[in-house]
Amino acid sequence: MKAVGVIVEYNPFHNGHFYHIKESKKETEADITIAVMSGQFLQRGEPALVDKWHRTKMALLSGIDIVIELPYVFSTGHATHFAEGATQLLDAIQCDSFAFGSEQGTIQPFLNTYSLLKKYDDDYNALIKQFVSTGLSYPQSLYMAYEKLKKLEEKDYIDLSQPNNILGYHYVEAASRLNLSIKPVTIQRIKAGYHDSIFKDSSIASATGIRKSLFESLSLDEIKNYVPTTTFTQLQEWKDKHTQFVNWDTFWPLLRYAIIRNTPEQLTQFADVSEGIEHALMKAARKSHSFSQFMTTLKSKRYTWTRLQRMITHIYTGITKDALQQFSKPTYIRLLGMTSDGQKYLSENKKDFKLPLISRVASTKDAMLQLDLRATEMYGQGLNLVSKDAPAADYQTPPIRL
């Protein structure tokens, strides 16, 4: 059996994801699809709308055959680290290829860009420095340096101002640099852009748009056209059980308490908290009555929303810089769920996996896995504030079989 991998958050699963799975299988002629999915906390530094079990179920009900968890260490990390963890896991579980969506839509320009930047690495860094010294921001300087470099060799390159091209580039770059045998493939994204809100007349909307609608409208019906029925049912089930979807507003009383309970000095134990932001975090937590007030107080050109949210995630879970830094590569493949086809693939290929497959977490002492268990617990603590029916701990939850 041939498997294609996808790197996902499914927050929540929507029609665009469905389209991507279908196209990925077609393009790669794969028999099954394996998703490596972020757990309770996501790359932009926020808790998932619904927990990983509900998101796993959405995936399995809509075309994914196996869902494995991207460990907390990678799922909440910077793009490079995120990409390294995800591609290594898909490689370890013997996917033939992995497919990502991009504005570009063809893979060669990604490979060309990678070769170019690798070849002219020193020039690239020198150019960036030069642009920064003229007063441009770091992302602007990156872009300008790249534009200059592209003129050196006449080939097709990707446009690095497009968000999904950037993400895809990180995957391609990670797989190449780490010499993984897994092959990158890209699928053209359709319609709704990442930053769009819901278009009433379309059946594709971004996850961001869908979340916005879920938090702003009292009825789930608003998003009905943009997600598979199976997602809709899972979301409905979650809401009935837990009264609301999760975001930082839900966890705010605990988050604020966690920040204030530290001294500014103690806050610097957490990744990226340094150079004085610890005092600003403390001060903002003290005087803010809501998460959005807190973030608005803190946000600046230097401290972007995402950067702040990543700090906050680690403060909230209590996972320190030191705890994160001990790990550079995945140490296990954590199974969250599978279909019967997925199960067949696992039994056939298990012996060739490059990392141990973990189905029951109770039986392992893996240090990296302990952070995932903690993340689930902390997610549950926050959910407890609004729900009588908080999710079970990881060691009480077996993989979902469909």
Binding site for a second copy (CB under 8 A): 253-254, 256-258, 260-262, 286, 317-318, 377-378, 381, 384-385, 393
12 marked ligand binding residue: yes
How near is the Cβ of 338 to a second copy at its closest, in Å?
Answer: 28
How near is the Cβ of 393 to a second copy at its closest, in Å?
Answer: 7
HSE toward the beta carbon, residue 169, CA cutoff 13 A: 21
Residue 355 in contact with residue 330, Cβ under 8 Å?
yes
9 marked ligand binding residue: yes
Task: From residue 398, give the alpha-carbon distance in Å to each of 46, 86, 362, 365.
Answer: 25, 22, 10, 17
Please identify which residue in the block is written with the tokens 């230097």. 302
Question: Hey, is 12 helix, strand or coil?
Answer: coil
Rounded distance between C-alpha atoms, residue 335 and residue 396, angstroms: 14
261 marked ligand binding residue: no
How near is the Cβ of 73 to a second copy at its closest, in Å?
Answer: 16
Rounded distance between C-alpha atoms, residue 11 and residue 42, angstroms: 9
353 marked ligand binding residue: no
85 marked ligand binding residue: no
204 marked ligand binding residue: no
Rounded distance between C-alpha atoms, residue 66 and residue 8, angstroms: 12
How near is the Cβ of 112 to a second copy at its closest, in Å?
Answer: 47
Rounded distance between C-alpha atoms, residue 303 and residue 297, angstroms: 11
Question: Hey, is 5 helix, strand or coil?
Answer: strand
Q: Closer CB to a second copy, residue 126 or residue 385?
A: 385
How near is the Cβ of 256 to a second copy at its closest, in Å?
Answer: 7
Q: Which amino acid is at 142?
A: L
Residue 356 in contact with residue 92, Cβ under 8 Å?
no
Buried b (16+ CB within 10 A) or exposed e, 83-108: bbbbbbbbbbbbbbbbbbbbbbeebe
Please identify which residue in the block is written with the tokens 């909230």. 316
54 marked ligand binding residue: no
How near is the Cβ of 359 to a second copy at its closest, in Å?
Answer: 22
Rounded distance between C-alpha atoms, residue 97 and residue 94, angstroms: 9
Q: Closer CB to a second copy, residue 142 or residue 368?
A: 368
Q: Closer CB to a second copy, residue 176 or residue 370?
A: 370
What is 65-98 written as a DSSP string?
SEEEEEPHHHHTS-HHHHHHHHHHHHHHTT-SEE
190 marked ligand binding residue: yes
Q: Which amino acid is at 293?
A: Q
Q: Closer CB to a second copy, residue 139 or residue 253?
A: 253
Q: Closer CB to a second copy, residue 9 or residue 372?
A: 372
CA–centroid distance for 175 within its chain: 17
Q: Closer CB to a second copy, residue 105 or residue 318?
A: 318
279 marked ligand binding residue: no
Please identify which residue in the block is written with the tokens 């910077």. 78
Rounded distance between C-alpha atoms, residue 364 and residue 291, angstroms: 36
How near is the Cβ of 57 to a second copy at its closest, in Å?
Answer: 25
Q: Closer CB to a second copy, residue 183 or residue 241?
A: 241
17 marked ligand binding residue: yes
13 marked ligand binding residue: yes
User: Across the strands, what pairs with 100?
Assistant: 186
How near is the Cβ of 218 to a second copy at its closest, in Å?
Answer: 22
Please identify which residue in the block is written with the tokens 């690239």. 124
- Residue ranges at the known binding site: 7-20, 101, 164, 189-190
- Residue ranges at the known binding site for ATP: 7-20, 101, 164, 189-190
